[in-house]
Chains A and B, each alone.
Chain A
């Protein structure tokens, strides 16, 4: 089974995402901010990261930059999942290396289609 790391400071969002992802046959781990996510990625690289933008300690963008700076051989697929829905934010995320972008609110079909696009399911 493939693994998805859900990175969000909202417990509710993590819970909703977990529910959807597990129904799509993915195993799920959680991180509460970018730093927590980076630590978990260094220990065990997930197949895909569902990444919030605004978080305390380390934001989603800072996480993406820090991940790119590491010497990891593989790299997980990155799906931003955020309330930042402006075209400027979307372009910035893609330029920083995000593979996909989900605008909150999202539903199962949205998440499923994005995971299919990045080739995780």
Chain B
């Protein structure tokens, strides 16, 4: 049952959305607020609560971190799919990675999937690397994947996906090659799982990322944040970038008006580079050309 408009502004709803914002920085848009009650049904059932008013009361009265966590996990949007926006993965593997491969003499490639949800993006990258194993022989490939949701990270780390999950975007050849049946579900094979370091982390108080990453993906994450929070995330991404890093955002997300730290990438359309001499020079040349 959708939450009636009158209840969306109710005290209980405000407490729940306030908890979500305090813990994750995410603002619950009207588009997601209507499904709050549906999303919280499993939490109500698991904790023996009647409705969201009782839930809000319990959140206020007790310091139950498990309940807090369950509410936050339920309200987060963990929608994801394999090879989401297929052309982005073609850009990465046909253009961005060959350039990085040419430049990284130390043969170390570092990738950060920030806001990875249940891990499909990171697995999609890993699948491409495994399919091109000969090309990457002798390279150390580090894929860090972080998300605020402990439930999403647990699922990502397990590598288990439903039939519906694997049908969305995953080519059948890759399913056969890199997954095995697990009851009605499918589990990524150990080689794939070993490639990715899944960690729970908050983009506003990040503890997990270290140093600079060659490729940063923060797709379909920023749209849930206020402008101030977005700025803070861009600052974080900039701190973990170097002059030649490439940043990819989701379709419809952009840096213009959001951050001074990044500019459109001079070589790779639709991606971003940290502001600096090389990016600025490249953009000037492109404008002049």
With a cutoff of 8 Å between Cβ atoms, the chain A residues found around residue B86 in the complex are 116-117
Of all chain B residues, which has the CB nearest A107? B164
Given A113-B81, A116-B86, the answer on whether A106 and B172 have CB atoms closer than 8 Å is no
With a cutoff of 8 Å between Cβ atoms, the chain A residues found around residue B155 in the complex are none
**Whole-angstrom distance between the alpha carbons of A116 and B83 in the complex?**
11
B35 in the interface, Cβ–Cβ < 8 Å? Answer: no
Partner of B176, one of A94, A116, A117: A94
A56 CB to nearest B CB, Å: 26
Of all chain B residues, which has the CB nearest A100? B172
B11 in the interface, Cβ–Cβ < 8 Å? Answer: no
Partner of B167, one of A87, A94, A103, A116: A103
Count, chain A residues at interface, CB 8 A: 19
Partner of B168, one of A85, A90, A113: A113
Q: Mark A77-93 against chain B: 1 for CB-CB distance below 8 A, else 0.
A: 00000000111001100
Q: Total contacts A to B, CB within 8 angstroms?
A: 37
B192 CB to nearest A CB, Å: 16
Residues 51 to 107 of chain A near chain B (Cβ within 8 Å): 85-87, 90-91, 94, 98, 100-103, 106-107
Q: Is the CB of A94 within 8 A of B168?
A: no
**Whole-angstrom distance between the alpha carbons of A107 and B167 in the complex?**
10
With a cutoff of 8 Å between Cβ atoms, the chain B residues found around residue A106 in the complex are 167
Q: Mark B79-121 against chain A: 1 for CB-CB distance below 8 A, else 0.
A: 0010100100000000000000000000000000000000000
**Whole-angstrom distance between the alpha carbons of A92 and B57 in the complex?**
56
Interface residues of B (CB under 8 A from A): 81, 83, 86, 163-164, 167-169, 171-173, 175-176, 180-181
* 8 residue pairs, one from A and one from B, having the closest CB atoms: A101-B172, A110-B167, A113-B169, A117-B171, A113-B168, A100-B172, A87-B181, A103-B163
Interface residues of A (CB under 8 A from B): 85-87, 90-91, 94, 98, 100-103, 106-107, 109-110, 113-114, 116-117
